[in-house]
Amino acid sequence: MDPTIGDFEEADVLIESSKITAVRPNIQAAAQIIDVTGMIVMPGFIDTHHHQYETIQRSIIPDGVLGNFAGVNWPQENYVSVVQNIWTTGLIPGPTPADPPIWNLGRSPYDPEDYYISELVASLTQIDQGITTGVDTSQSSHTPEHTDAMIQGLMDSGHRSLYVYSLGRADDNRGGYECPGTIGNKTTGLGRLREQWFKSEDQLVTLGFSGGAELFGLARSFGTVIVNHNVGDPTFVTGNVNAVDVLGNPILGPDLELIHCVRWTEEAWQIAADKGIHISIAVLIEIQMRHGMPPLPTGARSRHPAEPEQRC
């Protein structure tokens, strides 16, 4: 699949530690040999959007629509009220921020060990399916212990993952809420994770961040990519064409991945192409959960000058 390497009917793949160092016929090396004669060896699939902490909730609400983030759809069972509220934060908010919660467990129902198990099972399942790289946006950093358990589960699995540090329940009664952190602070939040878990980029699990544009400078100060959901808001792109973060970096750039991106305008797609923004498309989810029609742009994308124009 790499034109600089070529395709072979028979060849060897040499792996040293976590890296593929050679692909060619008749490699001679002092190594453990795994004989896959007659099989296809190819790059693994990449999952650009996964909430791995939800794995042990499997089948709780398989057909849940997106719901309403203000909680006004309760007691209708939807993705927000069941998965995001009951089983993630333990809190169903009232119709408006001024109203008392409809239901409040007082803490997330997850313990750190639950997150560890969920991350481990999700990662091993992906490996079994041929998915060797994933992006994990597990929005559950209620305490440092919860965060560390998720990272440990990813690392123990052997799966190549981008762990996307995301918000949790700030008033979890076990305390210690630290997300997202502050620029220059290496003892808490994003800075702690960089210092404790991600000093090197040369490892299977690397660090990302999810948060509002006002926090993009924080993410970039610690060298993380940014992965955010965008469900039907092209103005985030069109309205930030010339905007910069607190460090003076452009808000929009190639270190940004946006998920879903339904109901975007042609202008938004063209800006995304020009800025090098990465787009994650989840066709079945976008239809099933009523995000909107899958975001297939009609023409706004970067292409080689010699490539014929194609429109979806």
Question: pLDDT tens, 154-180?
Answer: 999 999 999 999 999 988 878 779 999
Between CA 32 and CA 34 the distance in angstroms is 7
Across the range 87-96, mean pLDDT stands at: 89
Quick check: 67 and 78 in contact, CB under 8 A? yes
Across the range 198-223, mean pLDDT stands at: 96
Across the range 127-151, mean pLDDT stands at: 96
Q: What is the pTM of this model?
A: 0.87
Q: Can you name the residues that pair with 208 across neighbouring β-strands?
A: 164, 225
Q: What tokens does 136 get?
A: 């994990």
Structural domains of the chain in order of their starting residue, each with its CATH number: 1-43 (no CATH), 45-230 (3.20.20.140)
Between CA 266 and CA 238 the distance in angstroms is 10
Q: Give the dihedral sign, CA 267/268/273/275.
A: positive
- Which amino acid, 124? L
Q: What tokens does 198 get?
A: 């991600």
Least confident of 85-99, 101-115, 145-159, 298-312: 298-312
Phi and psi at 231, nearest 5°, equal: -105, 90
Q: Which of 262, 284, 1, 257 is nearest to 135 (CA)?
A: 257
Q: What torsion do the CA atoms of 81, 82, 88, 92 make, to the nearest 10 degrees?
A: 40
Name 195's Cβ contacts closer than 8 Å, sequence gap at least 6. Answer: 186, 187
Whether 300 has a pLDDT exceeding 90, the answer reads no
Q: What tokens does 29 get?
A: 């090396």
Q: Which of 311, 283, 282 is nearest to 297 (CA)?
A: 311
DSSP readout, 212-224?
Answer: -GGGHHHHHHTT-
**Coil/strand/helix, residue 166:** coil
For residue 296, give the DSSP letter.
-
Beta strand pairing call for 278-280 and 45-50: unpaired
pLDDT (0 to 100) of residue 295: 84
